[in-house]
Chain A
Amino acid sequence: MLYREVGQYRTTYQADAAIFPIRQDRIAMVALLVVAFVAIPALGSAYLFSAILIPFLILSLAAIGLNILTGYAGQLSLGAAAFMAVGAFASYNFVLRVPGIPVLGAFIGGGIAAALVGIVFGLPSLRIRGFYLAVATLAAQFFIVWALTKIGWFTNYNSSGVITAQPVVILGWHFAAPREKYLLVLAIVTVMALAAKNMARGNLGRQWMAVRDMDLAAEVIGIRPMRAKLYAFAVSSFYCGIAGALFAYTYLGTVEPEAYNLDLSFRILFMIIIGGVGTILGGFLGSAFIVILPIVLSVSIEWLDRSLHLSVPTSVASNLELIVFGALIVFFLIVEPHGLARIWQIVKEKLRLWPFPH
């Protein structure tokens, strides 16, 4: 009833090719942006920004990056966190060694550095596919974190290995309070998500999906799988790099290699599996899920603790998290391999018909 398309005729290819061809979707999107940019900053608490929204947004960006590589281009990667690390450390070094560089410029520099590293570790994909490629990305993950720890130049020869990130100052404005950091991250993520969507639905996205689905046929129609794959690695690593820089500067406050470990790479992979492989929305949904789940779990355990007087040790809580994650991955793969994004699509299709059954 609310979601009718009746009367909305698209008479130009331009209208048909829009991201939100249905008017209700456009309205919903505008409302969402208003809530995100206006309502939440006005009403939200510092905890909400620092502990939930900022990591959610940053990890969404990383998930979008991984989705481009693994979801759209079909190149399995277990090293997303390593590229985030490159972005973080490169940004740090740009700010440190290039006097007067704007912070956003340093972030972009970090992203580009990550993209270049991504291309290097993506070169094997020209010969290797599938699980074997996963090993190449593992090599990247372990090697990069090791290099960033051992090679003193990256950490400015800091003996403790943990560097404090420089303050974020743009055009004289200090982004120090959680609300301000949230708005900055939100702005960056919104712009980059839009760019990702544009790339995904354009020629590049089609090339990626063609290479993923059947690269021999793609070659025959003139696509160069090598170029498409390297572009996927580059763009994906760029996104992860920016996410990594944001992770350090607006969330952790420190620049340290251990934060970008294999565990984080797995988390981001889980985000795209649960959220929806090969979609931009999936990055957001998966990230929300993975960020909120531990909080929900610990709150429920606490509640169970108090109401039933079970004293649940903390070790059980963290293991419960592992169990729930693992079970959910398996569950999603069996029940809805295309993740939450597909479930959302199905909901919308049902909404179109509501209140009629079919």
Chain B
Amino acid sequence: MIQFAFEVLIGGLLSGVMYSLVALGFVLIYKASGVFNFAQGSLVFFAALTFVGLLEHHVPFGLALVIMVGVMVVVGLAIERLVLRPLVNQPPISLFMATIGLSFLIEGIAQILWGANVRGLDLGLQDEPIQAISDATGMNVSKFDLSAAGIAAVLVIALALFFNRTRVGRALRAVADDHQAALAVGIPLQYIWAIVWSVAGFVALVTGLLWGARNGVQFALTFVALKALPVLILGGFESVPGAIVGGLIIGASEKLAEVFLGPYVGGGIEGWFPYVLALLFLLVRPEGLFGEKIIRRI
């Protein structure tokens, strides 16, 4: 029983890694521009779908990957230029609603371009238990999940280093804090935003590939964006480690709840449990685990 619980926990943690990846995309953009990019989910979907589409047109894997990086960067830049810049002085809620509109737009375009069928995506990683671990402990830990976790870890470390150790990273943090002040010290705002959106696009690509390989590339991928919200609430909107921790917590708790509480109430708990959890959490700590306390002055 304990072993089973542990297995569920590990499975949950690993699926939580996926949530963390999506949340990471949100955090990047929010950190740098204060915009909550609801369209991140649809970007993930678009990335995965376009990649699969390229593969179907017999573009070699490696080349497709390179092309995709380019495409996501271009898309990111286009969004920043066409949607966000005109709205730069509007209240955050308008920007948020604009990204909702954007998400619909991207979904529609992605599906018109490539069709709406569910596609499989083969990354060369198999979703089967790792022999060594199951021999040693009798638990099933998927090779795929572990590799995904590894990739995510690498990505997070790279991003953390980027933000904290490089000049561009410092500029990004400055921009996130205060646009005017950043301009005043000569930081090129547009350039910074371009970088941010490109990085977010890249993260969306990685996320899309991993998610798509795991669950198939389908429209439901866009609802992943919604699942990221509880993750962000737990972890705070501006914290990279927070996104990771939040994702792990949500993934684990969601699975555990479904497996252990679900049978008592007819199942399907996964659909709302993360949100209710986040809600309860907010009541206690409105700014999240890693968020900053907001002091309002008048």
Q: Mark A307-325, 1 if CB is under 8 A from B, else 0.
A: 0000000011001111101
Number of B interface residues, CB 8 Å? 46
List A residues 61-96 near B (Cβ within 8 Å).
76
* B17-25, B106-114, B135-143, B196-204 - interface stretch: B106-114
Let me know if B169 is at the binding interface, CB within 8 A.
no
* A52-60, A135-143, A166-174 - interface stretch: A135-143
A-B residue pair count with CB separations less than 8 angstroms: 124
Set B96, B108, B271: member contacting A322, Cβ < 8 A:
B108
Let me know if B105 is at the binding interface, CB within 8 A.
yes
List B residues 80-112 near A (Cβ within 8 Å).
83, 86-87, 90, 92-94, 96-98, 100-109, 111-112
Set A132, A269, A323, A333: member contacting B108, Cβ < 8 A:
A323
Residues of A contacting B269 in the complex (Cβ-Cβ under 8 angstroms): 146
How many angstroms between the C-alpha atoms of A150 and B264 in the bound complex? Answer: 11
B283 touching A128 by the CB < 8 A rule? Answer: yes
CB distance from A18 to the nearest CB of B (A): 31
Set A131, A135, A136, A139: member contacting B96, Cβ < 8 A:
A131
B115 touching A322 by the CB < 8 A rule? Answer: no
A337 touching B275 by the CB < 8 A rule? Answer: no
How many angstroms between the C-alpha atoms of A315 and B139 in the bound complex? Answer: 44
List A residues 214-248 near B (Cβ within 8 Å).
216-217, 220
How many angstroms between the C-alpha atoms of A127 and B278 in the bound complex? Answer: 13
B112 touching A319 by the CB < 8 A rule? Answer: yes
A326 touching B105 by the CB < 8 A rule? Answer: yes
Let me know if A347 is at the binding interface, CB within 8 A.
no
B101 touching A146 by the CB < 8 A rule? Answer: no
Q: Mark B26-63, 1 if CB is under 8 A from A, else 0.
A: 00000000001000000000000000000000000000
Set A138, A270, A320, A322: member contacting B226, Cβ < 8 A:
A138
CB distance from A147 to the nearest CB of B (A): 9
Residues of A contacting B286 in the complex (Cβ-Cβ under 8 angstroms): 127-128, 132
Query: Given contacts A132-B233, A322-B107, A327-B101, is CB(A337)–CB(B271) below 8 Å?
Result: no
Query: Who on chain B is nearest to A334 by CB?
Result: B86
A150 touching B112 by the CB < 8 A rule? Answer: no
How many angstroms between the C-alpha atoms of A76 and B276 in the bound complex? Answer: 17
Query: Given contacts A143-B276, A333-B94, is CB(A322)–CB(B266) below 8 Å?
Result: no
B105 touching A323 by the CB < 8 A rule? Answer: yes
Set A136, A269, A316: member contacting B112, Cβ < 8 A:
A316
How many angstroms between the C-alpha atoms of A66 and B282 in the bound complex? Answer: 23
A150 touching B268 by the CB < 8 A rule? Answer: yes
Let me know if B5 is at the binding interface, CB within 8 A.
no
List B residues 213-238 near A (Cβ within 8 Å).
226, 229-230, 233, 237
How many angstroms between the C-alpha atoms of A325 and B107 in the bound complex? Answer: 11
- Pairs of residues from A and B, 6 with the lowest C-beta to C-beta distance, nearest first: A329-B101, A326-B105, A322-B108, A326-B104, A139-B275, A323-B108
21 contacts between A and B (CB under 8 A): A127-B286, A128-B282, A131-B96, A131-B229, A132-B286, A135-B282, A139-B275, A139-B279, A146-B271, A216-B298, A262-B226, A269-B100, A315-B116, A319-B111, A320-B112, A321-B108, A326-B108, A329-B100, A330-B98, A330-B105, A333-B101
Residues of A in contact with B (beta carbons under 8 Å apart): 76, 124, 127-128, 130-132, 134-136, 138-139, 142-143, 146, 149-150, 216-217, 220, 262, 266, 269-270, 273, 315-316, 319-323, 325-330, 333-334, 337
Residues of B in contact with A (beta carbons under 8 Å apart): 36, 83, 86-87, 90, 92-94, 96-98, 100-109, 111-112, 115-116, 226, 229-230, 233, 237, 265-269, 271-272, 275-276, 278-279, 282-283, 286, 296, 298
